[in-house]
Amino acid sequence: MVHRHAGKKSHLNKKKVVSSLNLKKEDVFLDLGCSDGYISVEASKYCRKVFALDYHKESIEKLKKTIKEKKIPNIIPVHADASKKIPVDQKLDIALLSNVIHGFVENNEFDHVIKNLVKIPCKKIYAVEFKKGFFNFGPPDEVKLSSLELETVFKKYGFLPEIKENMGKYHYGIMFSQKNEP
């Protein structure tokens, strides 16, 4: 797996992303591609349980250290390759894919990831991705998906766009819901 763009989601406002998730106290949330837990830690304040999954062991180790230091009881760090399996043993209310879809696209793994989310099952998916356009950071433009391209892919798996948002100068966000819940 190629992963040239690992790192903090520093060009994103974590409070704005978490607010857009509209988490409820009873929700079970997955931060898929959580990196060092930048958004997971913020989300843990608003829901029952956070599964924070990342392929990079170093990121999960950093998150474990943060969980211990801040005594956060409701984050479960998960080291896994989401394109192979998402080892979550309960239904998800919402999953966040923030700044990771372009990586899955680049590696031809996006379909596998979505299929794995559907298997769990997952009611809603909030996707935050880089807008197309060349910036001095982030992924190359050829692996970025426009919001319309992203909608087309999610539709294939029964997820329809519910809310579209501008997430700042570099990102957009789309909330997808299953049209036929399992």
Beta bridge partners of 51: 30, 76
Asked whether residue 2 is assigned to any structural domain, the reply reads no
Q: Which domain holds residue 153?
A: 27-163
The pLDDT, as a whole number, for residue 10 is 55
Asked whether residue 19 is assigned to any structural domain, the reply reads no
Asked whether residue 96 is assigned to any structural domain, the reply reads yes
Query: Encoding tokens for residue 7?
Result: 């790192």
pLDDT tens track for 61-107: 999 999 999 999 999 999 999 999 999 999 999 999 999 998 898 88
Asked whether residue 54 is assigned to any structural domain, the reply reads yes
Asked whether residue 175 is assigned to any structural domain, the reply reads no
The pLDDT, as a whole number, for residue 44 is 98
| Three-class secondary structure of residue 90 per DSSP | coil
Asked whether residue 82 is assigned to any structural domain, the reply reads yes
pTM of this prediction exceeds 0.75: yes
Cα separation, 15 vs 168, in Å, equals 12
Domain count, the chain: 1
Asked whether residue 6 is assigned to any structural domain, the reply reads no
Cis peptide leading into 121, omega within 30 of 0? yes
Asked whether residue 41 is assigned to any structural domain, the reply reads yes
pLDDT tens track for 142-153: 889 999 999 998
**CA separation, residue 179 to residues 8, 51, 121 (Å):** 32, 24, 13
Q: What is the CATH number of the domain that holds 36?
A: 3.40.50.150
